[in-house]
Amino acid sequence: MDTTPESYLDLFPLEDIVYLTPDSENVLEDIDPDKVYVLGGLVDESIHKQVTLRRAREQCLQTARLPIREYMVKAPNSRNYHSETLAINQVFDVLSTYYETRSWPAALRAGVSSGKGYVLPDTAEQ
């Protein structure tokens, strides 16, 4: 991994950038090694819906979301809380595990904590 003060918009062609946001209608089905994935993040105590999606659209970027709904189920919990919004380190864990295993269930198990209210179907009854 390299870090730079330059914007990703200045470093890569727009058509090669995919902005990951939980509000995207597009599901990330696979990682394309020729694409650059931007992990949109906010440092805030509350979740602001659509902010990262609006930013990506303003920059004319492709968007995608992790396939949480496709592979996980809502777990019953006392607060009836379910969120697909993850911290940057959780998204990174999901992507890293998927890249190594090519398994979304394994990747989501590694990065999505049970506190988000989602579990894999095989653990829903536990």
pLDDT tens digits along 26-82: 999 999 999 999 986 654 445 667 888 999 999 999 999 999 999 999 988 888 888
Give the three-class secondary structure for 24: coil
**Residue-range definition of the domain harbouring residue 40:** 8-119
Is there a domain that residue 108 lies in? yes
The rounded distance, in Å, linking the Cα atoms of 43 and 29 is: 27
The rounded distance, in Å, linking the Cα atoms of 46 and 110 is: 24
Contact, 94 vs 108, CB < 8 A? yes
CATH number of the domain bearing residue 33: 3.40.1280.30
Is there a domain that residue 126 lies in? no
Catalytic residue (one of 10, 32, 44, 93): 44
Is residue 44 among the annotated active site residues? Answer: yes
Is there a domain that residue 36 lies in? yes
pLDDT of res. 45: 46
